[in-house]
Structure 1
Amino acid sequence: MSNPEHHPRGVIIGSVDTTRLSTEEKRAAVRNNPGACPIVNSVHAVGEQYRPLVIYNLLDGEQRFNDLKRAVGTSSRTLSQALDSLQEKNSVHRRSKPGDHVAVYYRLTEKGQALDSVFEELAAWDERFGDAATETETNAETPATADD
């Protein structure tokens, strides 16, 4: 293999071949190894569960927790876990506004805002190669039959 960090069926993280590890064991291997593949680290940082949806919705600016919950379409507990994780990674900032009802607001930090261009590139890739593009391409290549 030309690159010792990659393996045909998985990723080599340090000396650990992740091919036979469970998903949680792979996540732990990435978390515990700062020398892991940068792409694996990046995907791990923003790509788990609801994090991409949270980031996407916060790209438009600060939002209250309940508005974000409706936009993401998940439970309070799941959203809280995603937000906590993004806060730990310094991608999201939390602000409380005291009053009769405590309002909690979230916004992206500079680090979180920097993902805007990444999301734009992923959207462009999806438009070109995603499922809808593949279906359109397949339909365009399928010759019409007398039954059509």
Structure 2
Amino acid sequence: MGTRRKEGRIDNVKFTFSRFAQKLMVIHVSLLLVGCSHIVQDHQKIEEKPKKLEVRLESNPTQVHVNEKLIITSNITYGNEKISKGAEVMFEVIENGVSYGNLPVKPSNNGEYQLELKFMEPGQHQVISHVSYKNLHEMPYLNFQVTE
């Protein structure tokens, strides 16, 4: 039995490969391609910038009186994307230093998270929006001086 060889020509130069050399070349080229694809993937990972979670908290009205309806609105963006689903949003209400706990809220039809409330006593009050999304957490707050 003889060794199988494959012949070929490049620019009138004759060359011959044994079966072993053919397999070795295929393995070498395959490893080279696999290595290059990992370099491209790693480069793409480096270029991806982490997106920032931003929470804008607003109130209407801004001047608050006892027993007056107050609407707190939280708008959430992740990078350039407005978030209306998938975020965990809670509002913490603090009246004169006493926290009344966290109140979970769902997004409205326009994607905003809103809480409607009334302060029953005058004094210094605060509302904190606790927002969790994709392992990120933000806690913007608004302070109010509630008057009679």
TM-score category, normalised to shorter length = under 0.3
TM-score by length of 1: 0.20
The structure where helix makes up a greater share of residues is 1
Rg larger in structure: 2
TM-score by length of 2: 0.20
The structure where strand makes up a greater share of residues is 2
